[in-house]
């Protein structure tokens, strides 16, 4: 246990209280009004200069020590998911159908703990900005904060993020430069046919049959068009149509999660989805509409900041607990938009052998709270050397 973790452990009860509160009171993306107030009140009490309402519910807490002129941004997300938690925990979500099953409550608690520590020790020379972001799950919060002048109003030389990751060794850090996470495009396709009685399908046009054919056709895009050396996936996560077995439905809705790792593959995959949807729908005599979501972005870590973050973590936690190069994922993050504006790094902190994030039984391991906070402290003190 390093010295920073040891000191942070003295506040463990308080840090866990923050975590428990947020876990029990989750709020969906871009609706996090109470959570935002809870966070802002805490950082204000520690002497940070706090700006709220950045990109709706975003918060930027700034503190300047010394006069170096350097600045660092540390970002954590705090929105929850529309999933029913099935864990039997004393701090289980109190909101039906809404829960923190990605660990954003843990991310925010770690950054809060680091903020409190830094405000007390003041062992840095420059400006640290704690960036608490709403709406990561819907890819809205990062772009909203940027559009609201995040980097013009609160300049930083570099920005850093972190995410817990099930399947990676508990409490160990993983760093990689370049393309680390995929661009995601969340689309909705509506196929409209003609309703009829289930006993007389000849009088209708069945959108479920057309939609089923489209689901299968979409699976050929990646397998036949994306180079095996690259990564991409087209997932139909929802297929919604009809309410009764004896009715030919009027329409069907498919909800897609499309993930790509290169700009060229993204254009190709999206174009193929448009083409296949048109031809599949028309071949069954159906009409179609594609509703495209917020455009995605590949998360790209800069080489210099990755090397620096890794070396600082290695010095703080030792070689056995820090890994470079680490794994990359087809998961997505709207922190990618921030990295398009400023150099920085997004690392992973192992959550151990738990269900994957977004699973109804996912549990953020509380042992990470002081470990993750200590990384933020070490990174700030290392980047803003006094």
Write the CA distances from 251 to 128, 203, 266, integer angstroms. 52, 15, 28
Predicted structure pTM score: 0.90
Question: Residues 299, 181: contact at Cβ < 8 Å?
Answer: yes
Q: pLDDT at position 282, please?
A: 97
Contact 366, 16 (CB under 8 A): yes
CA 32/CA 133 separation, integer angstroms: 10
- For residue range 322-333, list pLDDT tens digits in order: 999 999 999 999
The mean pLDDT of 257-264, rounded to a whole number, is 91
- E strand segments, the chain: 49-54, 58-65, 71-77, 126-133, 158-166, 173-174, 178-181, 183-192, 196-197, 232-240, 247-248, 251-260, 287-292, 299-301, 322-323, 344-352
DSSP code, position 202: G
| pLDDT cut 90: percent of the chain above it | 95
Residue 386 confidence (pLDDT) above 70: no
**Which strand (E) or helix (H) includes residue 42?**
helix 33-45
- Find all residues with CB under 8 Å of 207, minimum gap 6, and list them: 191, 192, 193, 241, 249, 250, 251, 252, 284, 286
- Reported as a single tens digit per residue, the pLDDT across 126-158 is 999 999 999 999 999 999 999 999 999 999 999
User: For residues 185 and 293, what is the distance between their CA atoms, to the nearest angstrom?
Assistant: 6
Helix (H, G, I), strand (E, B) or coil at 90: coil
Q: Give Rg (Cα) of the chain.
A: 23
Dist. CA 77–CA 334, nearest whole Å: 10
Task: Report how far residue 205's alpha carbon sits from residue 123's, in angstroms, rounded to the nearest whole number.
Answer: 70
CATH architecture, range 183-292: 2-Layer Sandwich (3.30)
Confidence of residue 293 (pLDDT cuts 50, 70, 90): confident
pLDDT score at 184: 92
**Which SS3 state, helix, strand or coil, does residue 282 take?**
helix
Sign of the dihedral defined by the CA atoms of residues 191, 193, 195, 196, in that order: negative
- Do the domains 183-292 and 3-180+298-383 match in fold? no
Q: Where exactly are the structural domains of the chain?
A: 3-180+298-383, 183-292
Per CATH, is 3-180+298-383 categorized as 3.40.630.10? Answer: yes
pLDDT at 53 over 80: yes
Indicate the range of 13-22, 88-97, 106-115, 290-299 predicted with least confidence: 290-299
d(CA 208, CA 92): 38
Q: How many residues does the chain have?
A: 386
pLDDT of residue 285 exceeding 70: yes
Q: Is the pLDDT assigned to residue 296 strictly greater than 90? A: no
Give backbone dihedrals phi and psi of 331, rounded to 5 degrees, phi first.
-65, 165
**Rounded Cα–Cα distance for residues 78 and 368 (Å):** 16
8 Å CB contact between 27 and 98: yes
Q: How far is CA 279 from CA 195, 210, 236, 287, in A?
A: 21, 10, 18, 10
- pLDDT tens per residue across span 78-133: 999 999 999 999 999 999 999 999 999 999 999 999 999 999 999 999 999 999 99
Q: Give the rounded distance of the alpha carbon of 293 from its chain centre.
A: 16
What is the maximum span of the chain, computed from C-alpha positions, in angstroms?
A: 79
Output the pLDDT for position 229: 86
Report the mean per-residue pLDDT for the chain. Answer: 96
**Range of lowest pLDDT (70-84, 258-272, 349-363):** 258-272
Beta bridge partners of 301: 178
Q: How far apart are CA 167 and CA 351, in angstroms?
A: 7
* Range 14-28 average pLDDT: 98
User: What confidence category does residue 1 fall into, taking pLDDT thresholds of 50, 70 and 90?
Assistant: low
């Amino acid at each position: 246990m390093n010295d920073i973790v040891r000191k942070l452990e003295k506040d463990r009860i308080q840090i866990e209280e923050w975590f428990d509160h947020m876990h029990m009171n989750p709020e969906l993306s871009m609706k996090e009004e109470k959570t935002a107030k809870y966070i802002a009140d805490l950082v204000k009490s520690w002497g940070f200069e706090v700006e709220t309402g950045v990109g709706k519910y975003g918060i930027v807490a700034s503190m300047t020590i010394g006069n170096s002129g350097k600045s660092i941004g540390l970002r954590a997300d705090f929105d929850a998911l529309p999933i029913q938690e099935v864990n039997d925990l004393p701090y289980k979500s109190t909101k039906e159908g809404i829960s923190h099953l990605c660990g954003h409550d843990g991310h925010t608690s770690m950054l809060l703990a680091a903020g409190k520590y830094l405000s007390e020790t003041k062992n840095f020379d420059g400006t640290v900005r704690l960036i608490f972001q709403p709406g990561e799950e819907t890819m809205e919060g990062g772009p909203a904060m940027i559009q609201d002048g995040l980097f013009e109003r609160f300049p930083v030389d570099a920005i850093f993020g972190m995410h817990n990751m099930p399947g990676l060794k508990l409490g160990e850090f993983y760093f990689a430069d370049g393309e680390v996470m995929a661009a995601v495009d969340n689309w909705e396709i509506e196929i409209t046919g003609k309703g009829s009685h289930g006993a007389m399908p000849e009088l209708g046009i069945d959108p479920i049959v057309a939609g089923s054919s489209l689901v299968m056709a979409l699976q050929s895009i990646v397998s036949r068009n994306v180079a095996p050396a690259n990564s991409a996936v087209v997932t139909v996560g929802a297929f919604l149509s009809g309410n009764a077995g004896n009715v030919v439905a009027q329409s069907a809705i498919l909800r897609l999660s499309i993930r790509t790792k290169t700009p060229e593959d993204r254009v190709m995959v999206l174009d193929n989805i448009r083409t296949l949807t048109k031809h599949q729908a028309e071949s069954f005599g159906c009409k179609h509409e594609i509703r495209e979501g917020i455009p995605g972005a590949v998360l790209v870590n800069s080489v210099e900041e990755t090397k620096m973050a890794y070396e600082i973590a290695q010095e703080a936690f030792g070689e056995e607990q820090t890994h470079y190069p680490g794994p990359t994922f087809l998961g997505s993050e709207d922190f990618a938009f921030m990295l398009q504006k400023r150099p920085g790094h997004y690392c992973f902190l192992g959550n151990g052998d738990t269900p994957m994030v977004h699973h109804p039984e996912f549990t953020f391991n509380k042992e990470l709270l002081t470990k993750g906070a200590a990384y933020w402290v070490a990174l700030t003190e290392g980047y803003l050397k006094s």
